[in-house]
Amino acid sequence: MGLIQNILAVIVVLGLLVTFHEFGHFWVARRCGVKVLRFSVGFGKPLWSRVDRHGTEFAIAAIPLGGYVKMLDEREAPVPDEQLDQAFNRKSVWQRIAVVAAGPVANFLLAIVAYWALFVAGTTAVAPMVGETVPNSPAAEAGLAHGDEITAIQGEAVSNWEAVNLKLVSMIGFTGELTIEARPQGESNAVAYQLSLRDYMTRQDPPQPLETLGLTPWQPDVPATLGQVIEGEAAAEAGLQVGDRIIAVDEQPIADWMDFVNVIRGSPDEALTVAVERDGQRQTTTLTPSRNSLETGVEIGYIGAGAEPVEWPEEYQREIRYGPLEAVGQSLSRTADMTLLTVDAIRKMLVGLISPSNLSGPVTIAQISGDSARAGLEAFVSFLAYLSISLGVLNLLPIPVLDGGHLLYYFLEIVRGRPVSEQTQAIGLRIGLAMVGTLMLMALYFDLMRLW
């Protein structure tokens, strides 16, 4: 069931993103007088198609991992004389720039709308309260302690853990004094703490912003009660069910969920006798955690189960909600921040501060799509917005075959006063295909490594 949900979720996500992206090209092309021959969502043989009064074929194809807009163009096929004025290559350079740029712009607009909807509907976030600090860590040496609420990082206000993580991730490779402002428990004024860092999170895979500082978020006690059991995994095969409360493992009492997790992680391929309470009755079963390898090479036990959600105290929650007009500014700001973060991440990967093994391909996207869909509409929309921004940024990279590569040619045409030669574009096309193909193979390889 989990695999099916992941597949359906990624089809929905990619379908929406591709449709918006290609509609951007299509809409501007029509406004510029370019004849659009086909608007396809997906590749391969069309499963459904229809032709409108303008002669454009709209199609849904069998492979839902992309899409395209095919326009009338003399470089691809002969064009009748009476339609030459509708050919893409006959349009002015500024019109061609507008048509090509419209796809990524549509992705950014989708993200803005998604964030606007979230801000208007309102979201509840967890306050960045410190749980524990690891002894001798940068956080502990700076003086951060249990119960402190982080209010700002490097002078930028933060109100929840998501904002904290995003700010810290943006500082990968940082060397120097990191300033964290936090309000001690029971106090009204914040205190500034200085954390000495060197090559912060450089080449970590994956980046662990809080763990690297030695910070643990505060969280309520989580009872060892199952809230999720994945079909086909060890927990389901042992007969465990949602609602079971874990009492003991091998006759050793289990205090809370983390106590149970630690036992499971430390017992790969070991047969464990698990006592549970179900409907007021004590039952026992044999549970054998499967072996799962982390990217660090450490092997842990895994059973495919999750804890029952717990209610967070109101004092540890922060509601984020804006009026329709105020939400416009907030959504523009969030989209700009996420765009800059994505661009900066690409730059840091190119200079070696971020490991290329952090690249994600279709398998990881499918997993995250499924997880976010199961987590609720808010998480799904937020992930959709971020992925839309990523797609927009990646398409603007100056790599031939991508929109950014075409834009590069057109701007060179403006500077030179004449188009880039067909031979140069053909060479660029081969180089671009090699680069994009290599990136796709790398992303798929790292996806498979994560699975294994």
Do 134 and 212 belong to one domain? yes
Residue 404 domain-assigned?
no
Range of lowest pLDDT (14-28, 151-165, 197-211): 197-211
Average of per-residue pLDDT across 309-333: 88
* Percentage of the chain modeled with pLDDT above 90: 51
Residue 56 tokens read as 């454009």
Q: Rounded mean pLDDT of the chain? A: 88
Q: Which listed residue (22, 295, 315, 422) is catalytic? A: 22
Most confident of 6-10, 109-113, 295-299, 301-305: 109-113
Residue 139 has pLDDT above 70, yes or no: yes
Do 211 and 258 belong to one domain? no
Average of per-residue pLDDT across 309-313: 80
Average of per-residue pLDDT across 31-42: 93
Residue 162 has pLDDT above 70, yes or no: yes
Residue 54 domain-assigned?
no
Round to the nearest angstrom and report the end-to-end CA distance of the chain. 20
The reported pLDDT for the residue numbered 64 is 75
Integer Cα distance of 149 and 126 in angstroms: 11
The reported pLDDT for the residue numbered 331 is 95
Residue 295 has pLDDT above 50, yes or no: no
Do 230 and 263 belong to one domain? yes
Average of per-residue pLDDT across 320-342: 93
Residue 282 domain-assigned?
yes
For 48-64, the three-class secondary structure string (H helix, E strand, C coil) is EEEECCCCCEEEEEEEE
Using an 8 Å Cβ cutoff, are 200 and 174 in contact? yes
Range of lowest pLDDT (262-266, 406-410, 411-415): 262-266
Integer Cα distance of 247 and 240 in angstroms: 13
Average of per-residue pLDDT across 262-273: 91
Rg of the chain's alpha carbons, rounded to an integer?
26
Q: What confidence category does residue 373 fall into, taking pLDDT thresholds of 50, 70 and 90?
A: low
Residue 414 tokens read as 């403006």
Do 239 and 281 belong to one domain? yes
Do 211 and 146 belong to one domain? yes
Residue 350 domain-assigned?
no
Average of per-residue pLDDT across 415-433: 89
Active site residue 22: yes
Q: What confidence category does residue 294 fall into, taking pLDDT thresholds of 50, 70 and 90?
A: low
Using an 8 Å Cβ cutoff, are 294 and 307 in contact? no
Most confident of 12-26, 283-297, 369-383: 12-26
Please say which residue of 217, 235, 256 terminates a domain: 217
pLDDT in tens, 244-257: 999 999 999 998 88
The reported pLDDT for the residue numbered 65 is 72
Residue 127 has pLDDT above 80, yes or no: yes
Residue 438 domain-assigned?
no
Top pLDDT among 294 and 1 is at 294
Top pLDDT among 11 and 239 is at 239
Residue 231 domain-assigned?
yes
* Percentage of the chain modeled with pLDDT above 70: 94
Q: What confidence category does residue 123 fall into, taking pLDDT thresholds of 50, 70 and 90?
A: confident
Do 155 and 185 belong to one domain? yes
Using an 8 Å Cβ cutoff, are 332 and 109 in contact? no
Integer Cα distance of 441 and 435 in angstroms: 10
- For residue 188, what are the domain limits? 130-217
Residue 187 has pLDDT above 60, yes or no: yes
Residue 103 domain-assigned?
no
Do 147 and 174 belong to one domain? yes
Residue 296 has pLDDT above 50, yes or no: no
217 pairs with which residues across the strands? 130
The reported pLDDT for the residue numbered 433 is 87
Do 231 and 302 belong to one domain? yes
Residue 388 domain-assigned?
no
Average of per-residue pLDDT across 311-340: 90
Integer Cα distance of 391 and 22 in angstroms: 12
Please say which residue of 158, 182, 217 terminates a domain: 217
Residue 450 has pLDDT above 70, yes or no: no
The reported pLDDT for the residue numbered 258 is 85
Q: What confidence category does residue 452 fall into, taking pLDDT thresholds of 50, 70 and 90?
A: low
Do 246 and 280 belong to one domain? yes
Do 303 and 233 belong to one domain? yes
The DSSP element (H or E) to which 426 belongs, if any, is helix 422-451
CB-neighbour burial class of residue 1 (10 A; exposed 0-12, middle 13-18, buried 19+): exposed
Please say which residue of 181, 196, 217 terminates a domain: 217
As for how many domains the chain has, the answer is: 2
Do 205 and 232 belong to one domain? no
Alpha helices in 91-157 (DSSP H): 93-121, 138-142
CATH number of the domain where residue 146 is located: 2.30.42.10
